């Protein structure tokens, strides 16, 4: 496989820097694999393709579990392939076994910042300073450009509801993805 600026082989010695420290800047997807594992061999091309396609919006770290048994034990790997996603120095998601590309995309997209996330943060800052109407206007504009951003949709629905616009809130919240309904942050909203 060709080398990529978005992938690296990781060892026990390099894990903390290559995964945990780096995950404070960009999510890191860690693939625990072994050469003898057929599902691992079918999964790796999908992960490599996504790493290239996402162009640095996440980083792919590969751990050969046969050679790095201590690292696999440290993270409770019992079956291969096991893939864990780290963000801000902590594990935030995982899956075991070869998965379809669509499912992996959904997992990544749930944890990778989107351009509309900056607008969401600005709107929440605006709300925190007391400008709820300005925050609502900013959220509406952001929602028009990215209606699939579930966190943005949830906050827009919340603000509409808090302003007594329950029907509008319900209409917006119907746009949440099924995955969003199981998300703790969105559930709290």
Query: Active site residue: 28, 37, 110, 135, which one?
Result: 37
This prediction's pTM: 0.72
Three-class DSSP category at 45: helix
For domain 115-188, which CATH number applies: 1.25.40.10, 3.30.950.10, 3.10.20.520, 3.10.105.10? Answer: 1.25.40.10
How far is CA 8 from each of CA 66, 75, 120, 178, rounded to the nearest angstrom? Answer: 17, 18, 32, 33
Contact between 81 and 98 (Cβ < 8 Å): yes
What residue spans in the chain does CATH classification 3.40.30.10 cover? Answer: 7-111
Query: Active site residue: 29, 40, 44, 172, which one?
Result: 40
Per-residue confidence in pLDDT tens, the chain, 189 aa: 457 899 999 999 999 999 999 999 999 999 999 999 999 999 999 999 999 999 999 999 999 999 999 999 999 999 999 999 999 999 999 999 999 999 999 899 889 988 898 899 999 999 999 999 999 999 999 999 999 888 899 999 999 999 999 999 999 999 888 878 777 778 777
In the annotation, is 161 catalytic? no
CATH of domain 7-111: 3.40.30.10
In the annotation, is 37 catalytic? yes
How far is CA 70 from each of CA 13, 37, 67, 78, rounded to the nearest angstrom? Answer: 11, 18, 9, 12
Strand pairing class (28-33; 7-9): unpaired
């Amino acid at each position: 496989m060709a080398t990529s600026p978005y992938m690296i082989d990781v060892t026990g010695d390099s894990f903390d820097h290559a995964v945990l420290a780096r995950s404070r800047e960009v999510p890191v997807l860690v693939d625990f694999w072994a050469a003898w594992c057929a599902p691992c061999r079918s999964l790796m091309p999908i992960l490599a393709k996504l790493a290239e396609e996402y162009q640095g919006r996440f980083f792919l770290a590969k751990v050969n579990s046969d050679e790095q048994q201590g690292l696999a034990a440290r993270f409770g790997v019992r079956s291969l392939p096991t893939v864990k996603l780290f963000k801000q120095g902590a594990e935030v998601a995982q899956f075991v076994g070869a998965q379809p590309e669509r499912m992996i995309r959904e997992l990544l997209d749930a944890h990778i910042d989107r351009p509309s996330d900056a607008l969401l943060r600005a709107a929440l800052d605006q709300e925190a300073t007391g400008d709820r109407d300005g925050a609502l206007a900013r959220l509406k504009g952001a929602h028009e450009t990215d209606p699939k951003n579930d966190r943005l949709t949830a906050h827009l629905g919340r603000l509409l509801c808090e302003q007594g616009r329950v029907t509008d809130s319900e209409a917006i919240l119907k746009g949440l993805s099924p995955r969003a309904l199981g998300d703790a942050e969105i559930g709290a909203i």
